[in-house]
Chain A
Amino acid sequence: MFAYIVRRTISGLVLLVVMTLVTMMLFFSGPLHPERHACGKICSPAQIAVTKKAFGYDKPVLVQWGQFMQGIVKGRNFPEDKKLEKDHPELVVHCTAPCLGYSKYFTQNVTTLIKTSFPISLSLAIVAFILWITGGVLFGVIAALRKGTIIDRGIVGISLIFYAFPTFFIGLFLYKFVSIKWQLVPTPEYIPFSQNPWSWLTGLILPALTLALFFMAGYVRMTRAFVLESMSEDYIRTAKAKGLPARRILTKHTMRAAFTPLVTMAGLDLAGLLGGAIITETVFNFNGLGGLAVAAATNNDLPILVGLVIVLASFVILANIIVDVLYAVIDPRVRVG
């Protein structure tokens, strides 16, 4: 098991390195000229060239990538100008390792930006995850146990409604009616947990619910299907024949088998969400990693884009490893090797 985890971690790191290079190459292969936008409204070609150099985009992609990797290992100064460092140290930004770059738009180190934004995305993801897993599994099991009844049809039908509506619609709907019109919850905003846990929760509830309603729909249907499939297995029939109580059959045998594929899904969905829920964060003005991604894309901010690629990819890779390990714990038939 340990060797397996080490192997997967190393391959994940290699993948991350390759992804940074691919991101940079894709960025520069398009028609984008961030230096033109950054330079201002009326800029001569000479001024645009100066801006390009100030951004470091005048160097070949491989050189820029090499500097980026060096920053991760050793840290970097922005700008990398020895004379300026000596004459005007106050103008130079030092970015300690692991340095993911410097955003000229935010005028901050990417590492700092991600550190600031991550707790927001994490909070949102955790609350949403708890809501959708609890609701999705609960309603999915109820639907399976009441298969073919009006309860089953009602649960599946309602969940489909939430699944069909775009997230921005649900978000705007909740924001407009629940918060603004009916004043049932305060205006959604992120307040750090350490500052006020109750405000943290009430501020998060609407965006988390928006995400949860969307994800929950899939989990209801999936749980229902997995439970039904599991209930038709021979070992369940055997358990029933041996006279085991229905509750024990459900919790000990049916649910355990049904959970295996759900864990895979949940792990990957959570990992994706940790990287930022772009639409929900935009609707509710939450400046998590999703909001940061929007700002980076809007402003053609390469350093942030690369930094976010690394973070998001890390979450996905890590979640994959964890899910694979959990598989073995939940399902003894699976052997990790």
Chain B
Amino acid sequence: MASYRKPIAAIAAAAVVSVTLVACGSSSDGGKGKTTDAKGGTLYYLTKRPAEHLDPQRMYIGRDLADMNRLVYRQLVSFPVTTDKAAAVVPQADLATDTGTSSNDGKTWKFTIKDDVKWQDGKAITCEDFKYGASRTFATDVIIGGPNYILGFLDVPKGKDGLPLYDGPYKNDNAADFDKAITCDGNTITYNFSKPFPDFPLAIASLNSFGPYRKDQDQGDKSNYAVFSNGPYKLEGTWDVAKGGTFVRNPEWSDDNIRKALPDKIVFEQGLTNEIIADRLIADVGQDKTAITDRAIPPAYYTQITGAVADRATLTESPFVDYVLPNFNKMKNPKVREALKLSTNINGWITAGGGDKAYKPAQSIVNPALVGYKPNPNFSMLPAGDLAAAKQALKDSGEKLPYPIKFTYSGGTPTSDKQAAALKDGWDAAGFKVTLNPLTDTYYDIVQDPTADFDVTWGGWGADWPSIATVIPPLFDSRINLTAKSNGQDYGNYKSDTVNSMIDEAAQMGDVNDQAAKYAEIDDQLGKDVAYIPLEITLFYFLHGSDVANYISSPASNGYPELGGIGVKQ
């Protein structure tokens, strides 16, 4: 039985929001679908993976963040509903009157909240609601699992362990520190950061964690699946953790010029297998005619995607880039790493994983649509590689040949094993002697152990918002990753004072474009060190029902169906 090759744990680590997608040959309706802005009908959302959190401060899955932004959680600024790649990553005023003003080299941001915006019970959304929402992230013992960037950026004193002394609204220790860092003056909220945060609006639009939360609705952990809406829909009844839930119109919402809110009702059906979803959408009968999904068509079904069915299929780039990386604790010889890079059989990996409907070769760990992306020149010979040069590099390394390496990867499926075997073929041909070590649910627990016995491993990543600042520092800054017990996200145990110093320089820049240019320099250095080898950009090959209207999967929706614009044929 074919299945999506990454196990849940793998997806969890890479489950991020990125608003940096490129629709491959996209049109406003994703192909030959129907286009209408008529309101009404019920849209069904078929999916496999249950939402882990619906609490805005705890959500961290790209699909859920994009969906809930369109349905129930408006932000100060949000991305527009559009397929224009450039426009899709430009934040628009949403709950705020404008896109905010920054001062103090990007360390201070001010937003004014609109007067007429309301919660689902009709009460006005206030500045205090935003402040309370931000405060919840500091309760790290209760609000677990969400994006926690604000802990590092907000100008509050920190303890020896690096955590802020303010510990959230429940214990409320050192609350005065927090009150100074975020202030309310009428409807104007001011954020004071300890370092430049030039891309703060991008972060707000991408994550829901900076959004408002009503104090009287807060029950801590018990609120994990509670939804108190300020968007065009509200949750009907309660959310079933395993099966999903239904969203219906929120009468307190008024047109916000971002969301079209076309269907009357949106039903989420979770827990279905990829095969059943594909079967149902191919059959296209009954309620499945108005169904969409976030699950890629399994490669075994590609031959069925012809004729009228193909008209309902769309192919978009995902936010995710897969890569392999050498373990610097073991593979210390640069020539060996160079040989590894040159002999990485990326074409074989892609073919084994489903071909050009599943992957597109990557030229960097950075997704092409991120602000300031540049193909990494150190990987220009990929995906073909250069076997002769690889053999020579390995010979020049002075190491005894064949050079034994253990490739530990996230396996457990026939597809992942075939992909790993393709890489092994390439490396073996260059003079390595590869042992494959597939792991399933223990994958991250093992590769995050600095003492783990592997030479090469696999990783997958997507940016949290369209800035390289959410790619390179989290993955390669050894100071935030490497400890005695864990390598964090730096699975290759890469440590470079040069790169760390360049990251510091980038962090002090108050302009997004300047930062991006600096990060491109850092990426070049990472390429020279062979800190990673990019494999591919995952593609989303989705089907939808024949009565779905105006189907788009925009960059702002992370490549998933854009609930802000999709409707149902009337």
Contact = CB atoms under 8 A, between A and B. Distances in A.
Contacts of B276: 172, 175-176, 180, 283, 285
A50 B141 CA distance: 6
B448 interface: yes
Interface residues of A, number: 54
Contacts of A283: 273, 276
A295 B449 CA distance: 25
Contacts of B8: 298-299
A40 B146 contact: yes
B222 interface: yes
A7 interface: no
A51 B162 contact: no
A337 B145 CA distance: 56
Contacts of B480: 42, 44
A51 B148 CA distance: 13
Interface stretch (B25-33, B401-409, B481-489, B555-563): B481-489
Interface in A280-332: 282-283, 285, 287, 291-292, 295, 297-300
Given A46-B163, A172-B276, A53 B221 contact: no
B144 A39 contact: yes
Nearest to A284: B276
B271 A39 contact: no
B12 interface: yes
Interface stretch (A103-111, A133-141, A142-150, A228-236): A103-111
Interface string B217-237: 011111011000000000000
Interface stretch (A28-36, A124-132, A157-165, A245-253): A28-36
A45 B485 contact: yes
A51 to B, nearest CB: 6
B442 A105 contact: no
Interface residues of B, number: 59
A153 B16 CA distance: 57
* Centre residue among B1, B140, B271, B448 by max chain A CB count within 10 A: B140
Given A40-B60, A42-B489, A297-B441, A91 B222 contact: yes
Given A42-B480, A292-B242, 18 more contacts: A31-B449, A37-B13, A39-B144, A40-B145, A41-B15, A44-B161, A47-B148, A105-B52, A169-B1, A176-B275, A180-B276, A285-B276, A287-B243, A287-B271, A295-B50, A298-B9, A298-B441, A299-B8
A31 B161 CA distance: 25
Contacts, number: 141
B139 to A, nearest CB: 9
A200 interface: no
A168 B60 contact: no
Interface stretch (B77-85, B279-287, B357-365): B279-287
A295 B147 CA distance: 23
Nearest to B276: A175
- Which 4 pairs from chain A and chain B are nearest by CB? A46-B161, A91-B220, A287-B242, A107-B224
Contact of B170 (A42, A84, A169): A84
Nearest to B58: A40
A168 B84 CA distance: 42
A158 B108 CA distance: 74
A326 B141 CA distance: 52
A242 interface: no
Contacts of A47: 140, 148, 163
Interface of B: 1, 8-9, 12-13, 15-16, 50, 52, 60, 140-142, 144-149, 161-163, 170-171, 218-222, 224-225, 241-243, 269, 271-273, 275-276, 279-280, 283, 285, 441-442, 444-446, 448-449, 464, 474, 480, 483, 485-486, 488-489
A79 to B, nearest CB: 8
A181 interface: yes
Contact of B142 (A38, A49, A91, A292): A91
Contacts of A168: 1
A31 B148 contact: no
A54 B144 contact: yes
A108 B147 CA distance: 23
20 contacts: A32-B441, A39-B145, A46-B163, A48-B486, A50-B163, A88-B220, A91-B220, A93-B222, A107-B221, A107-B222, A107-B224, A107-B225, A175-B276, A176-B276, A183-B285, A285-B273, A287-B242, A291-B242, A295-B50, A300-B441
A299 B8 CA distance: 8
Contacts of B218: 90
A54 B142 contact: yes
Nearest to B489: A42
B483 A45 contact: yes
Contacts of A244: none
Contacts of A31: 442, 445-446, 449
A93 B222 CA distance: 8
A40 B150 CA distance: 14
B484 to A, nearest CB: 9
A90 B219 contact: yes
Interface string A84-118: 10011011010000000000111110000000000
Interface in A57-97: 79, 83-84, 87-88, 90-91, 93
Contacts of B446: 31
Contacts of A46: 161-163
A46 B162 CA distance: 7
A25 interface: no
A31 B144 CA distance: 21
A89 B21 CA distance: 44
Nearest to A48: B486
Contacts of B279: 175-176, 180-181
B440 to A, nearest CB: 10
Contacts of B485: 45
A48 B486 CA distance: 11
A43 interface: yes
A82 to B, nearest CB: 13
A32 to B, nearest CB: 6
Contacts of A38: 144-145
Q: Which has the most chain A C-beta neighbours within 10 Å: B1, B161, B162, B242? A: B242
Of B8, B285, B446, the most chain A CB neighbours within 10 A belong to: B8
Nearest to B486: A45
A36 B447 CA distance: 13
A183 B486 CA distance: 52
A226 B15 CA distance: 55
Nearest to A84: B170
B321 to A, nearest CB: 15
A181 B220 CA distance: 45
